[in-house]
Amino acid sequence: MHMTLRISLRDGEKVVINGAVIRSSGRSDLAIESKVTILRGREIMSPAEASTPARALYFHTMMAYLDPDGIEEHHRRIVDALQTVTRLVPNEDGRVATTRFAQRAALADYYRALGDCRTLMRLEHDALTQVAEIAA
């Protein structure tokens, strides 16, 4: 079954499609009619933004999604980051999110795994905030 993906971009908004960075000039509507790797600008993280274990997990998962040629290195970094994140968010919500992430990553469903990373980034932020409050 063929599905068309429709995306509306604001003026100046970026999107990465199959590794090509595209910037909208004016409001644009795109209809994607084939299988592509696609990330909107707000879903893209720079290496400098990967400043915590969960953010590093997101970054390396994003890279696995966008750069299949480097998949072995991305997988190694994903495994390392996932081990650290698992220790950082040991509660039930963390276990659910890390398990779901691992299942999706094992199936190379990196786009959906990025959603799990966003959940893990929120949980990590909460855990780090609690540690800072206890230390204060």
Residue 132: which pLDDT band, with cuts at 50, 70 and 90? confident
Q: Provide mean pLDDT across the span 124-135.
A: 86
Using the predicted structure, report yes or no on whether residue 106 has a pLDDT greater than 80.
Answer: yes
55-84 pLDDT, tens digit each: 999 999 999 999 989 999 999 999 999 999
Rg (CA), the chain: 17
> Sign of dihedral through CA atoms 39, 43, 49, 54?
negative
pTM: 0.88
Average pLDDT of 91-108? 95
Mean pLDDT throughout 107-117? 95
Burial 94-133 (b: 16+ CB within 10 A, else e): beebbebbbebbeeeebeebbebbebbbebbeebeeeeee
Per residue in 10-63, pLDDT tens? 899 898 988 888 898 989 888 888 888 899 888 999 999 999 999 999 999 999
In angstroms, the first-to-last Cα distance of the chain is: 56
Please report which confidence band the pLDDT of residue 2 belongs to, taking 50, 70 and 90 as the band edges. Answer: low
- Domain residue spans in the chain? 5-42, 45-135
Token pair in block for residue 14: 């970026």
Q: Which of 48-52, 69-73, 111-115, 129-133 has the lowest mean pLDDT?
A: 129-133
How far is residue 72 CA from its own chain's centroid?
A: 17
Q: CB–CB of 52/29 below 8 Å?
A: no
Confidence band for 102, pLDDT divided at 50, 70 and 90: very high
Beta strands in 33-133 (DSSP E): 38-40
